[in-house]
Amino acid sequence: MALKTYHGGCHCGAVKYEVDLDLSKGTGKCNCSICTKTRNWSARAEPDPSGFRLVSSKDSLTDYQFNTHQGHHVFCKTCGIHSYGYGDIKEAGGAYVAIQVACLDDATPEELLSGPVRYMDGRHDNWWNEPKETRHL
């Protein structure tokens, strides 16, 4: 597979974006407190955050930050769906835009499953290692 432009957004349609992804490179699931609660399954915009383009107005979004305030967990003000997030976390590889792959409108199940799923132990700031248990993620 190669880099492809996908379209996605929230449930009510107020948040819309397009993003360049190569899903065959894989997706990720993390066990940190917010990722566990939101059942995060994400992929990073390629080749860097410039691969993400917000099509709708930022006025439809609200931002939640916690702990070190390095990550922006944005979500739709109307329907509450968290369709992407962004930030700059050195321990997790630097600047990023992470797309919730379940919010991609035009990705097929085959594309979503085309690459490996990488598990990250964010709960213990051990980002580059898989947690002992992943079945619940």
pLDDT digits (tens, 9 = 90+) for 35-84: 999 999 999 999 899 999 999 999 999 999 988 888 899 999 999 999 99
pLDDT for 1: 66
Q: How many CA atoms lie within 13 A of 135 on its CB side?
A: 0
96 band by pLDDT with thresholds 50, 70 and 90:
very high
Task: For residue 110, give the H/E element and its range.
Answer: helix 109-112
CB 120 within 8 Å of CB 31: yes
Question: Is domain 4-115 annotated with CATH 2.170.150.70?
Answer: yes
For tokens 């490996």, the residue is: 116
| Full-model pTM | 0.89
Would you list the domain boundaries of the chain?
4-115
